[in-house]
Structures are given as C-alpha cells and as structure tokens.
Structure 1
Amino acid sequence: MVILTSTLLKLEKRARKIIKPKPFLDTLKLVVKSGHGGNGDLKFGGIGGQGGVVFLKAKEDCTLKQLWKKYPTKVIEASNGEDSCKTRLVGRRGNDQEIHVPTGITIIDNEKNRIIGELNNQDETCIVAKGGVGGSLGNNFIGKPGRSYSITLDLKIIADCGLVGFPNAGKSTLLKAISNAKPKIASYPFTTIMPQIGVLEYDDYRQITLADLPGLIENAHKNIGMGHQFLKHVERTRLLILIVDINGFQLSLKHQKRSCIENVYSLNKELEMYDQNLLEKPSILLVNKMDLDGSIEKYIENENYFNDLSLFVDKIPEDIRPEKLLKFERIIPLSARKFQEVDKVKNEIRQVIDRVEERKLTENVDEKVNEKLRRKLIEHGPKVV
C-alpha cells in the first residue's frame, strides 16, 4: 500500500510539471563586470593589457530563458588584462565576454535608471561594461580596475501585427485560424498567459508575423492585471488589430459588463493612457463571434459608431472615455471559430501593412528631396576668417 501511494504521488508530481505552463521571461536582471587592466612594467616601460569588455549581441534564435539557464548566478565577468613583463612588454588583452540576447531587447542601467541601448536586428551589438585601461606611464604603470554594472534586459516582442483585446474575445482562436501557431484555446478568461507568435503565409511566399498577447483588463495602464507586461509588447508592432466580442465582455460577477462598442472605447483608453503614440499606429477592428444569435442585429446597431467613434463618445462613461480616438483602416465582422471571413482578414492585414510601407517610403523620398532643395537655396557668401 505504501509503495502504491508513493508511486501515485510521483505520478501526480510529474503530471503537474507537464501541465504547468512554462514561464515566459521578458525581463532579466544581470550583473556584468569588465576585466581589470594589467599592470605595466616601470623598469622597462612595459604596458599592461587592457581588461576584457562585456558586450551583448542580438540573435533571433535566442531567448532570455536560455540566457538565465546559462548564467544561473546572473553574474557575468570578463577576464583581466595581462601584466607586462620583460619577456612580453605589452601584456595581452583580457578575453571579452560575449552574451547572446534575443532581438527586441532594451538594455537598462539599474543604478542610473536610464536606457543604455536597444538591439532590434540580428547581430547588433552593445558594450555594457568597458575593460580597465592597462598600466602605462600615464597612470604610473598601475592598471585601472574594471567596472561593474547592474543591468536589466527588457524584451519587447517584434512582430508586424499585435492582437489587442479583452480576455476571451477570440484572439487565440483567430491566430490559430489564420496562421501556423497553436495557442491554447478555452472558454474562460486569460487563456493566453504568455505571448504567442503566428506567421501568416501567402501564396507568393510573403510572411507577416502576428502576436497574440495576453488579454487586457480595465486599468491595465496602471499595471493592473497583466498591465505593462502586455502593453510594452504593443510598442514594437507596426499594425494594431483590435478584436472585440459582439456580445460584450464581463470579467467576473464583481465587474461591470461592457457592451461591444464600450469595449472598443475601453481598449482605446488603455492604449492612450499607456502611451499616446500607440494611437498613431494604423489599426484594424475585428468584431468577432458573428455566428451567435442576434449578432447581426447588434452589429448593424453599432456599425456607424465603429466607423466614426466620435459619434458615440459622449455616451460613454467617463472612466473609459478616451480623449484621442482611433480611426480604423478596416472594420471586419467575422467568426474565427467558424472560419467565416478569416481569409478576408488575412488579405486585409497585408493590404494595410503594404499601404503603410508605401506611405513611409513616399515620406522618406519627399524629405530627401526637400533637404536637397533647401541646401541648394542657401546663399553662399564669403566667410569671415
């Protein structure tokens, strides 16, 4: 009996490990130390080797979890420079410490609370701790000590599009329907507890990445719920895709139920309160669950408000009323569960992104032309020396 009980307990623990979701790391604190500069040789005028530096290098196939496993102590040190001697007047430089980090990393100096740099592209580098200078005549042949810094690596997912919506709006269902991702889907809130990335593939081999991010709740801008953990990932996307349930949403019995149109304004408000610049991004509105009874009538009732949010803003409660309103590039009713209008969503996403890129290229060309004209129009006169 004892053996049976212990066996069952082991099986239960193993099942818990399998069922328990793996945590998604998007923030990691590290201590980095550069190498000490080697001492010089006073007698022969030798120069000590410079201490090794610590630098970060962006890799697309890297994750913060891999980095955490590689450096469990969270302390990373470069080696010291070599001392000068009569057989080697110039000491060898200390070995540098190269740290691979995922793309989309923001590096923050914890002591000064400032951003050191960002690594958004493959193989970009950033030095986070410079090595100590080797000993020479200028410093009495005494090598300078290395520097130690406490830094935070803050990951913001880079994706073409970001799905923004309250829990159970159908984000994961949509992502599964239009991409190769396999997110968890269920009928209760907060199914998605970590970001999921899907890839939209087209017949001409074009690919667009789509991020399904954890569901918002009201006051997420105050870091309530998943708060900033979700909203910071929206900053990297080129296109916002707001998705709402046509029947509205109620997080629990303690919370007030919001109608579909109220949820649109509430999402608008959360984005505005976190960062107004997010409202400058192009956006698409998806009205989901159109296969349910009465959904068509509700959509017709709110269609004009979807097209122009200013028409209904005065009737919205003040706590979810935004000051700056979104203007949607497209408004698409659909049923992600029934695959209704899913292909249309996929095509419209591509059209909007392509149009935004064309607009940016045109603006860049116009700026260059204007700069050339401005330079030509400048009067060049004699210079007083």
Structure 2
Amino acid sequence: MVRCGGAVLRKYGNFIDDLRLYVRGGTGGMGYPRLGGEGGRGGDVWFVAQERTTLKSIRERYPQKRFVAGAGANSSVKALKGEKGKDCEVHVPLGISVLCDDGRQIGELNAAGERFLAARGGLGGSLATNFVPCKGQRRIVHLDLKLIADVGLVGFPNAGKSSLLSKISHAKPEIANYAFTTVQPELGKIMYADYKQIPVADLPGLIEGAHANKGMGHKFLKHVERTKQLLLVELELYKEELLTKPALLAINKMDLPCAKDNLNELMKQLQNPQDFLHLLQDEMIPANTLEFKDIIPISTYTGEGIEELKACIRKSIDEEAEQENEEYRKKKLQLLQTSGEQMNRS
C-alpha cells in the first residue's frame, strides 16, 4: 500500500486469473524395421480440475511454466510394441477456460475431476511412418480463470461489499474506509439452518468506465459471468447478456443520516428509470433498464436487513434451481418421445 498526497493507493494483489503455459506431448518411440516392431505413442498433457488449486500455486511450483509429457518407448526384440510415454497431468482450478495463444477458447473446466487434453503425444514409429516416430503436439495456451459462485457482489468502491460478505458468510475479507480495499476476489459461503450452503464472491469495486476496461475493468468484470445471481451496477456496457441474470439490489449504509430520504429518492428512480436517464452521460445510458427481483435496505454496521437479504438470496437460488430442473425434465421427455417415434418408424 502506498500513500500519495493523503490518498491511499493499493497495488494489484497477488491474485492471478490468467497464466500462459507451454505444453508439449511426448515424442513417439522408434519402430523396429527388421521385425516390424511399433514404437510406443508419446504421453499426453492433461489439465485436470481440482479444488483448492490456484494459478498462483502453479506458477510458484513450476516457474518455467513448461509441461512436457514422456516419450514413448522404442520397439525392441524383447518388446516389439513399445510402451506409451508417461502422461503429464497439471492440476488447475475450477472455473478455467483454456485459450489458444490467439485468444480462441478450446476448452473449459468447471467441476472437480474434469479433464482437458492440452497436448497429444506423437505416434510411435511403424510401417505407416517408415518406422520413424512423430513428435508430440506443442502449443502455447492461456488458462483464464473466472470464479464460480452462486452470487456475485458487484458495485462501486467503498459501497460496503466486503462488510456485507463478512456479515452473511464466514469469509473474512479486508475491510477499511477507503476505495479499492478489495484488490482480489473474495469467496465466502452463506450457511443456513438446514445446512444448505450458497457460495458468494465479493469482487473488487468498479470505477466509472470499467466496462471500457478502465481501472481494473475487464480483469474483474469477467468473474461475474459464471455467477447465478448478481448484486450489480454498470454491467450492460461490458456484456449485455449479463442483464439476463436474476439480480437483487442491496441498499447499504441505512444507518447513516438521510439514508431513508436517499432510499425514497432511489425507489422513485427505479420505478420510473426513463425519467432520470437524461442525468447520465450519453455513453452510460443503457439500452435496457435492469429489473431487480428484490430490493433490500441493509446496514452491515447495525445488521438491519441482513437476515432478510439472506432469505431473498436463498429463495432466488432455489427458484432458479427449480426452473433449471424443470427445463431438464422437459428436454429429457422430448428426447424420450423422439426416440420412441424413431423406433416406431423403424
């Protein structure tokens, strides 16, 4: 942290959400021309999603950021079919998109145990290759992390997101009375009496123009893409489809003087947003105004509204899950009906 002219400036934290790696499959083994022996195929490089893994830990453990699989065994008199080379497995965090060096997405890992073939091993030498082995696939890839959480807290600096996260979950984020206290995403879980847990992500404060990548901009806005529910501002300009996510609005700091007057004014603006859009700069006016499922006044200082907010979050998540289950049941029924019709025709 650096102080400059009375202001507090914070450098970007140790959180890493993008890592560039070199991956190479193993070279195949030599064939055995005299006896028609075939060399073993080279090993593959796999990315495997694992909980409690971070991109920072990968960088620290493998500073060269190079992952090469083992070579296939040569064919010999004792073993005409050479053994396959040893695979190289790289444990990566959940919520990883795998990108080519040109930015094209080639894979995604969202659940523990999911695997992605990053580089295939080369074929062993055989009659088809004149018994000469092939080299393994090699390329540069980017691991792009987007946090997975049911609820994403998004808002302007010093709006009280970290305080809210500490109130509704067991997380212990850094809290202070200046902007940009949060310089990396914080994850917590809301715990309910029936033991249900809802993951929540507190994302760093936005500045005006974050949609245009000002400040930390897209560095953190991308993390809201995989959340199911949002408490948000200024998202349409970043990615319009984010407005389709169910959204809750928490009005914080209700313990401050004039808070109720400000709340009444805000409610008027939310009820008739078109009457107030002229107050915004032209480039900030959204094409579509956001509708909130619930608006909850809260105070992270006094605890006002916290239990109500937790209940609203739970209700919204459960409704979303029920809707997804219903859509799944309908699709499954359609598939069964289609299969039955095809069998009848045949």
> Shared fold (TM-score greater than 0.5)?
yes
Indicate how the Cα distance of structure 1 residues 88 and 373 shifts in structure 2: closer, same or farther if over 3 A, else same: closer
What is the alpha-carbon distance in structure 1 between the residues aligned to residue 325 and residue 260 of structure 2? 40
- Superposed displacement of residue 375, structure 1: 6.9
Task: Find the counterpart in structure 2 of residue 355 from structure 1.
Answer: 319
Tell me the equivalent position of 1:234: 224
State the Cα distance separating 1:219 from its structure 2 match: 1.3
Q: 2:214 is paired with a residue of what secondary structure?
A: coil
Distance 1:282 1:20 in 2: 33
Gaps spanning 5+ residues in structure 2: where? 1-9
- Is the 8 Å Cα contact of residues 306 and 331 (structure 1) preserved in structure 2? no
Gap change, CA 1:138 and 1:271, over 3 Å in 2: same
- SS at 1:197's partner residue? strand
Q: Which residue of 1 aligns with 2:111?
A: 121
- Show the 5 A alignment for 1:1-385: 23-110=14-101, 112-242=102-232, 267=233, 270-307=234-271, 309-370=273-334
**TM-score in terms of structure 2 length:** 0.92
Offset, 1:365: 2.7
TM norm structure 1:
0.83
Partners in 1 of 2:269 and 2:224 — Cα distance? 25
Higher relative contact order (CA 8 A, sep 6+): 2
Q: CA deviation at 1:371?
A: 5.4
Structure 2 Cα separation of the partners of residues 280 and 301 of structure 1:
26
Q: CA deviation at 1:304?
A: 3.0
> Compared with structure 1, are the counterparts of its residues 381 and 22 closer, same or farther at alpha carbon in structure 2 (3 Å cutoff)?
closer
CA distance in 1, matches of 2:333, 2:12: 53
Find the aligned partners of 2:135 and 2:106 in 1 and give their Cα distance: 21
How well do the aligned residues superpose, as a CA RMSD in angstroms?
2.1
How far did residue 362 of structure 1 move?
2.2
Change in Cα spacing, 1:77 to 1:381, as seen in structure 2 (3 Å) is closer
Letter in 2 for 1:295: A
Q: In the superposition, relative to structure 1, how do residues 357 and 310 fare at CA in structure 2: closer, same or farther (>3 Å)?
A: farther
Letter of the structure 2 residue corresponding to residue 104 of structure 1: G
Contact 1:174-1:337 within 8 A present in 2 as well: no
Distance between the aligned counterparts of 2:141 and 2:336, measured in 1?
42
Q: Structure 1: which 5+ runs fail to align?
A: 1-18, 243-266
1:381 positional shift: 7.3
CA deviation after TM superposition for structure 1 residue 316, in Å: 3.4
> 1:240, 1:283 within 8 Å by CA — same for their partners in 2?
yes
SS of equivalent to 2:319: helix
Cα 1:301–1:71, aligned 2, differ >3 Å: closer, same or farther? same
In 2, distance between residues paired with 1:305 and 1:119?
41
Deviation string, structure 1 residues 333-356 (Cα, Å, up to 9, x no partner): 111122111111111100111111
Change (3 A) 1:308 1:180: farther
Please give the secondary structure, in 1, of the residue aligned with 2:41.
Answer: coil
* CA distance 1:43–1:367, change in 2 (3 Å): closer
Distance 1:87 1:194, change over 3 A: same
